Structure 1
Amino acid sequence: MLVRFWGTRGSLPVAPTAETIRRKVAQALVAAGSLQFDNIAEAELFVKKELSFAAGATYGGATSCVELETLHGSYFICDMGSGLRSFGIDSLRRNAAGHSKTYNFFQSHLHWDHIMGFPFFPPAFDPNVTIRIHSGHPDAEEALRRQQEEISFPVPFEWLRADFQFVQLTPGETYEVDGVKVETILQKHSHDSYGYRFTDADGKVAIYSTDSEHKLENMGDEAAFIEFFREADLVICDTMYSLADSVSMKEDWGHSSNLVAVDLCHSAEAKCLALFHHEPTYEDEDIQRMHEESIRYEELTRNGPPLDVICSYDGLEVRI
């Protein structure tokens, strides 16, 4: 299974400012010192090897959208954030090369940052495309239609030509979707949220669990999530806030922290944790700092197999 991250921010899309870009360029120049490069490839190699990720790159600014590429041909996509636009354009290229035109969407929930990319999804205008939208919410179709009403968007839902199918999923049930086993779990978030467990034919397991609040004082109530994450190869988890923020001024906002995610994955003996749904006010340096803190915390609290902690960014690919 290949996992592609098309959007990794939460709440709203963000873009680096001119000041941010100038700072990154200045840091690179200072780090290079008197070095000279004969071509762009040499300079790029220096940036990749010698600069931190925050200094030489960016975590990106598109909101939640993750693709799971399996052996069975059809598309599997988690959430329709603004990252969906880039995925949609890329999928047109793959469709032209003979890829299946069936798109299986799995919605964590229906807040705007998780559906805002859909009006800009080109395959929705293709009459040969099938779009299945899986969700735990009975009002998923209503949410997508409402954001394309004239007061909000110039292209009404009725103009879309794809074959739409809305499928409501029930927590505790196991579903077979185009050769992939899918399970879902109810999460604590406004208007409810749902996490997903995907198991492919090779037995590889990917978890998508965002917009879910896990409280430190209620870890005893998290047994269901520990079992849901059990021995997963990859857990994509909501780590929007620092622990301090999640238990103070942003308590009950429906999100969780990097440290609680490590605790859950340790208990579940998961293999890899991907930090996800980054706070939009965080600069690249802030996200990198959280990543480094998460790695140190994992090492300090480890009492079993090691947990690989990675930090998702727009464009990241992870093969499991």
Structure 2
Amino acid sequence: MKVRIWGARGSLPVALTHQQVRAKVVAALEGAVGRELDSADKISAYVDQLPFDVRGSYGGNSSCVEVLAWDADTVHEHIILDMGSGVRPLAGAKLAKYGPGQPQTYHVFMSHLHWDHIMGFPFFTPAYIAGNRIIIYGCHRELEMAFRRQQEPISFPVPFDQLGATIEFVQMQPGVPLMVNDVKVTAKLQLHAGDSYGYRLERGGRAMVYSTDSEHKLDNAAERVAFVDFFHGADLVIFDAMYSLADAVSVKADWGHSSSVVGVELCQLAGVRQLCLFHHEPFHDDARISRLLAETRRYAEVTCEAPLEIVSAYDGLEIDL
């Protein structure tokens, strides 16, 4: 399996401001002083060695993750986790090649129904193409209502019933595995306003966990054990690291999100191979997210007995399991 991040922000999409773009350009030019960047190859090599938060960006789209489990040329089915604004570039950059006459099936697993996780669906091009099949899975009883409601006339110009694809809703039960071809998917209840659900996907001896919009109470031992079991032995855990630990246990307690430190501790106990920090705070710029990543890696080096690879999610990141 392979994972591709299409949206990693929490709460709402954000865009780089002109001040932030200018700061990146200034930092890059300052580093170029005294260098003989007199060819395209030299310029490219110089840019490649710049820190990620200078040469790139963690992006601004809200939550959307693609799981590539099968050969797309032979199996015309796709797995998507959440439909935040990141699903629009997924549809445009990746799925647009499947036009009319090339029917596809899309398996969509929803962590929860807050707007930042469903807002991309009205812009999901495959939903407008007859012959496509979209199966939306979730544990909330209001699953279908949430998708229909955001396309009512007062909110969007295209009513839900005018979509060309066949759209189905499947209510899952936490802890009861569901098979999507040869991928086993299991949902787990998480602490968040209105409830959210994490998903564990397993195929061919590989496992990944998608656990966003989940708060972890440090004094709840039973919950801790339950999440260690859910994460156990996973090759990858995509984890809600929206807040610092200090914020998560003080001023933003009960806001429904977690921290990178908690992610490290749970993954360490569960024997996870790789941790991906996700659901970035919309007020955090690229430099601050990079600092958080560096601090988290240092914390893991000091506390982890077994190696734990840590990355920070950004729009376009691909991870092989």
Verify same fold: TM over 0.5: yes
Paired residue type of 2:244: S
Q: 1:251 aligns with which of 228, 231, 253?
A: 253
1:18 — aligned with what?
Answer: 18
Q: Which amino acid aligns with 1:102?
A: T
Q: Is the 8 A contact 2:185 2:200 kept in 1?
A: yes
User: Which SS does the other structure have where 1:306 is aligned?
Assistant: coil
- 1:173 counterpart residue number: 176
Number of aligned residue pairs: 317
Instruction: Name the CA shift for 1:238/1:134 in 2 (closer, same or farther; >3 Å).
Output: same
Describe how 1:218-237 pairs up with structure 2 within 5 A: 218-237=220-239
1:193-232 aligned within 5 A: 193-200=196-203, 202-232=204-234
Which AA in structure 2 matches 1:217?
A: D
User: Partner residue of 1:145?
Assistant: 148
Other-structure match for 2:185: 182
In the TM superposition, residue 248 of structure 1 has moved relative to its aligned partner by 1.0
Residue-by-residue CA offset, 1:228-266 (whole Å, 9 max, x unaligned):
100000000000000011011100000001000000000
How much has 1:158 moved relative to structure 2?
1.1
Question: Aligned residue for 2:68?
Answer: 69
Is the 2:243–2:258 Cα contact (8 Å) retained in structure 1? yes
Cα–Cα, structure 1 residues 87 and 299, in superposed 2: closer, same or farther, change >3 Å? same
Counterparts of 2:208 and 2:115, CA distance in 1? 24
Instruction: Name 1:298's counterpart in structure 2.
Output: 300
Matched, 1:82 2:88: no
1:287 alignment partner in structure 2: 289
Equivalent residue, structure 2, for 1:48: 48
Q: Measure, in 2, the Cα distance between the counterparts of 1:125 and 1:100.
A: 12
1:62-93 Cα deviation digits (max 9, x unpaired): 00000000126310000000000001113434
Contact 1:83 / 1:117 at 8 angstroms: preserved in 2?
yes
**CA shift for structure 1 position 36:** 3.5
Q: Per the alignment, do residues 39 and 124 of structure 1 end up closer, same or farther by CA in structure 2, a change over 3 Å counting?
A: farther
State the SS of the aligned residue for 1:195.
strand
Q: Which amino acid aligns with 2:294?
A: E
Q: Tell me, which stretches of 5 or more residues in structure 1 are unaligned?
A: none
Indicate the SS of the match to 2:36. coil
Structure 2 counterpart SS, 1:181: strand
Q: What is the percent sequence identity of the aligned residues?
A: 50
Does the CA contact (< 8 Å) of 2:215 and 2:254 recur in 1? yes
- In 1, the alpha carbon distance for the partners of 2:250 and 2:62 equals 25
The verdict on how the C-alpha distance between 1:284 and 1:99 changes in structure 2, with shifts beyond 3 A counting, is farther
Aligned to 2:124: 121
Give the alignment's TM-score, normalised by structure 2. 0.95
Q: Distance in 2 between matches of 1:172 and 1:39?
A: 57
Hey, what's the Cα distance between the residues in 2 that align with 1:77 and 1:314? 15
Partners of 1:149 and 1:122 lie apart in 2 by 18
* RMSD, aligned CA: 1.6
- Indicate conservation of the 8 Å contact 1:215/1:256, yes or no: no
SS in 1 for 2:289: helix
Which one is further off, 205-214 or 218-227? 218-227
SS in structure 1 opposite 2:89? Answer: helix
Q: CA deviation at 1:219?
A: 4.2
Which sections of structure 2, spanning at least 5 residues, go unmatched? none
Residue 8, structure 1, aligned to residue 8, structure 2: yes
Deviation at 1:179, TM superposition (A): 1.6
Aligned position for 2:135? 132
Matched, 1:308 2:320: no
Q: Aligned equivalents of 2:40 and 2:19: distance in 1?
A: 23
For 2:319, give the aligned amino acid.
V
One-letter code of the match for 1:302? C
1:20-63 CA distances to partner (integer Å, 9 max, x unpaired)?
111100000000112233444532321221x1111111100000
Does the 8 A contact of 2:107 with 2:136 survive in 1? yes
Secondary structure of the corresponding residue to residue 114 of structure 1: helix
Cα distance in 2, alignment partners of residues 111 and 297 from structure 1: 32
